[in-house]
């Protein structure tokens, strides 16, 4: 008969295999396991250590234990319509999944005139001055995302001094005390070949690319940020959270 800590580990592994816990999700803490399974803190700790030894999770000091993205074939899942998912940011999400993130800023300029875009068939305008920051996002030295953000300098003064490794969304909430009303997003696809002018993915054969356009909107209706990003189609899949009106 298996030890109790092994049984607990197997239960969590089953949840991961069933998709109840996905890469980047936080697994139950020691205290959670103690309460759920009525075990000692030693047994709870051994359960988490066993999961880490088997390669299912990764512990991050001061934050918790997170599900790893274990196989090369397993695509990175990102959820549209989720403020919590957006709040994490690129670096935090990938670190929790066991990847080593890297960011290369290829442009950082201030646009005095602002910018407009179409999202969900609506014309949205972000008034200037606006910070434009163009970043190539990598995981384990492989490019995953070509990201361009336009951020209101009226609402977020001096944000141009912030490292691209942080979560901009957290900055809006915690540093600038902005209340987020919602995020509006549009997702479409395109094919990039090696001769596509805006292609930074260094692919030799044509690849599918997700194009995500989004706007972060504050409680007062003002737009805080507009994003226009390209995601490698063979690395990502997107989930969607619906918010039905009753």
Burial pattern 191-218, b for ≥16 Cβ within 10 A else e, equals ebeeeeeeeebebeeebebbebbbbbbb
Cβ atoms of 120 and 212 within 8 Å: the answer is no
Name residues whose C-beta falls within 8 Å of residue 69's C-beta, 6 or more positions apart in sequence: 23, 24, 76, 97, 98, 99
Burial class from Cβ neighbours inside 10 Å (0-12, 13-18, 19+) for residue 156 reads buried
What's the pLDDT tens digit per position in 163-211?
Answer: 999 999 999 999 999 999 999 999 999 999 988 988 999 888 999 999 9
Q: Over the stretch 23-62, which tens digit does the pLDDT of each residue have?
A: 888 999 999 999 999 999 999 999 999 898 888 998 888 8
For 216, phi and psi rounded to 5 degrees? -95, 120
What domains can be seen in the chain, in order of their start residue? 4-67 (1.10.10.10), 76-240 (3.40.1410.10)
């Amino acid at each position: 008969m298996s030890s109790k800590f092994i049984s607990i580990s197997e239960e969590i592994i089953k949840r991961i295999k069933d998709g109840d816990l996905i890469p980047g999700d936080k697994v139950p803490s020691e205290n959670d396991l103690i309460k759920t399974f009525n075990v000692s803190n030693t047994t709870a700790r051994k359960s988490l250590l066993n999961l880490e030894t088997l390669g299912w999770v990764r512990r991050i000091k001061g934050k918790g234990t997170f599900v790893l993205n274990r196989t090369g074939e397993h695509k990175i899942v990102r959820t549209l319509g989720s403020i919590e998912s957006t709040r994490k940011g690129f670096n935090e999400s990938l670190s929790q999944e066991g990847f080593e993130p890297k960011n290369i800023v290829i442009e950082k300029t201030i646009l005095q005139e602002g910018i407009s875009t179409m999202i969900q068939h609506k014309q949205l305008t972000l008034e200037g001055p606006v910070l434009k920051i163009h970043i190539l996002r990598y995981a384990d030295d492989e490019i995953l995302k070509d990201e361009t953000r336009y951020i209101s300098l009226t609402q977020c003064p001096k944000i141009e001094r912030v490292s691209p490794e942080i979560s901009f969304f957290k900055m809006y909430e915690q540093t600038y005390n902005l209340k987020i009303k919602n995020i509006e997003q549009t997702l479409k696809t395109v094919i990039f070949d090696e001769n596509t002018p805006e292609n930074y993915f260094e692919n030799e054969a044509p690849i599918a690319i997700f194009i995500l356009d989004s706007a972060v909107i504050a409680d007062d209706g003002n737009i805080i940020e507009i994003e226009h990003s390209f995601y490698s189609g063979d690395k990502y899949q997107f989930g969607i959270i619906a918010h039905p009106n009753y």
